[in-house]
A and B are shown apart, each in its own frame.
Chain A
Amino acid sequence: MYDAMMAETISIIGHGGDQIEAYLARPLGPGPFGGVVVIHHMPGYDAGTKEITRTFAVHGYLALCPNLYSREAPGASPDDAAATARAQGGVPDERLVGDVGGAAAHLRAMPASNGKAGVIGYCSGGRQAFLAACSLPLDAAVDCYGAFVVGTPPEGMPLKVGPIVHLCKDLSGPLLGLFGADDQHPSPDQVAELDKALTEAGKEHEFHIYPGAGHAFFSVNRPAYRPEAATDGWQKIWDFYGRHLAG
C-alpha cells in the first residue's frame, strides 16, 4: 500500500475572510479521502496537536488544524500564543465557527477530497467541536472531553463560554464522545446530561466513558495520559470516521 504523506504550514481563509495559519497533513495518494478539521486544545497549536494532525493523514484523511490564535499572536511560539490568547479572553465562539468553517471548506475543495469533512477537538476544543457541528454542515464530529457543553462555568470566568447543550437540535451529523470517568470538566453527570439531550433530540451519537482516566487522557506528553483509554479511543475514532467520513 502506498503510504507517503506530507505535512506543512499553510494559510487558509477563516472567520471574516481573515487569512489564518493552519497545519495541513495529507496522504499523497490520489484519494478520494475524507477531511478532518483538528481543533487544538487550550495550550495551543502545539507539537502534540500537529502530531495528532499527521496521525489522521497516516490513516488516510486530509487533516487540517487551524491556528485559532493566529490573530492574537501571529508567528509566536505556541505557548506564548496561548498565553496571549488567554490574557485577551480566549477565542470567541462566533470566530471559532468561522475558522472551522473555513478549514472545512478548504478540505472539501482539495482535489483528493471525497467531499466530506468532519471535526475533532480536545479539551476546550471538544466543546468547540460540538459547537462547530451544531453550527456548520459537517459529516461527523468527535468531542474529546470538552467542558462546558453542559454546565455553567465558574463564577467570574472572564471568557464568554457558556453551556451550549441547547444547540443539540442543530447537530448536523453523528457525534462520537470520548470521556474520562475521573474527569470533573465534564463530569460523568454532565456527560449523561448531554447524552440524554442528544437522545431526546433524536441525534445519532455514541459516548464512551473510560474508567481510570481523567481529563486529557490522549495527551502523550502529560501525566494525564492513559494508554489503555487513548489506544481504545483512537480505535473508536477510526471506526467512527471509517463509517462516516472515509472514501
Chain B
Amino acid sequence: MCTYLTEKLGVEGSGKGAAGWFALSQATVYVDHPQHAPADHTLNIDFLDPQQGPAARVAVELTAQSARALAAAIESALAAVPPGLI
C-alpha cells in the first residue's frame, strides 16, 4: 500500500549525493513501495537539504530486518563511545 506515513526530523551532519557532499538539514523515514529494492515494501530513509532542491538527497531502501539491525547497530555504536567524546 501507499502508507503515506512519514516521520520527519531535523538532522545535522553531511551526506554524499549524486553531486557530492552536502550539509543535511532534514531526514524522512517511511515504509512504502521502494523505487529500486526488490521488495513490495521497505523502510525508506531520505537524508535531505530541501533548500538545495529535490536532488539534494541521500536515499536508502531497507528490508524491515535490515532497518531494525541498522537501528540497533547505531544505538550500539553510540553506546560504546567513551563519555564526553561526542
Measuring CB to CB, which residues of chain A are less than 8 angstroms from any residue of chain B? 41-43, 46, 72-73, 76-77, 79-84, 86-87, 90, 123-124, 147, 153-154, 156-159, 161, 183-185, 214-216, 222-224
Contact = CB atoms under 8 A, between A and B. Distances in A.
Contacts of A214: 40
Contacts of A185: 1-2
A157 B38 contact: no
B84 interface: no
Per DSSP, chain A at the interface is: loop
B47 to A, nearest CB: 10
A222 B33 contact: yes
Contact of B55 (A72, A77, A82, A223): A77
B54 interface: yes
Chain B, interface residues (CB within 8 Å), range: 20 to 34
Contact of B1 (A43, A73, A158, A184): A184
A188 to B, nearest CB: 14
17 contacts: A41-B33, A42-B2, A42-B32, A43-B32, A77-B55, A80-B57, A83-B57, A83-B59, A84-B54, A87-B46, A87-B50, A158-B4, A161-B4, A183-B1, A215-B40, A223-B38, A224-B40
A41 B39 CA distance: 17
Given A79-B59, A223-B39, A159 B4 contact: yes
A219 to B, nearest CB: 8
